[in-house]
Amino acid sequence: RLNSGQIQARNVAISPDGSRIVFKAELAGLEMLYVRDFTSFYAREIPGTEGGGSPAFSADGRWIAYCDDRFLYKVLLDGGLPTELAEVGGLFACRGVAWLSNETLIYVPTPSAGLFQISSDGSDQRQITFPDRSTNEISHRWPRALPDQKGVTFTIKDDQLLDFGDATVAVY
């Protein structure tokens, strides 16, 4: 049993068809990702996801992408080990992941970056948004796929922001 204090929204993903949920949880001192089919009463751990967070489902719901303190990964939910896709900037660096219908992942590798995109096979990595330093933007964070999975919403952090409840949300 988990209480709401143990799960943050950025560490939860619901599959596109609404049949599964993936979430980060701690059990016996080990944080990792778990998956639960809504037809089952129990969740199961996803092997190899220790320390992972910010999960995002693929459009077909068979894969998830997530970050740990070193890499962006993808893993097949029905078995297999995670595949490294890109480096991220260290402890608590990754600031979100979204998986779009065109097999593109959008992620934020460091706390002071814009959005990056990478193909789900690990190729074609590039930065796609750039914080506007002239308006005191620090980073673009927490990308979430739009319902059509063809774009994302994201949060703009600036140097005056004290509470993300007051943040600006943009669309890419």
Per-residue pLDDT at 3: 44
Per-residue pLDDT at 94: 82
Q: What is the pLDDT along the chain (172 residues), one digit of tens a residue?
A: 444 445 555 789 999 999 999 999 888 888 899 999 999 989 999 999 999 999 999 999 999 999 998 899 999 998 889 999 998 876 667 888 999 999 999 999 888 889 999 999 999 999 999 999 999 998 899 999 998 889 999 999 888 777 777 788 999 9
SS3 track for 113-140: CCCEEEECCCCCCEECCCCCHHHCEEEE
What is the DSSP code string of 28-94? TTEEEEEEEETTSS--EE-TT-TT-EEEEE-TTSSEEEEE-SSEEEEEETTS---EEEEE--STT--
Per-residue pLDDT at 5: 47
pTM of the model: 0.87
Average pLDDT score, the chain: 88
Q: How far apart are CA 48 and CA 51, in angstroms?
A: 9
Per-residue pLDDT at 128: 97
Per-residue pLDDT at 80: 87
Under 8 Å between Cβ of 142 and 106: no
Per-residue pLDDT at 106: 96
Per-residue model confidence as pLDDT tens digits over 104-143: 999 998 888 899 999 999 999 999 999 999 999 988 999 9
Per-residue pLDDT at 91: 60
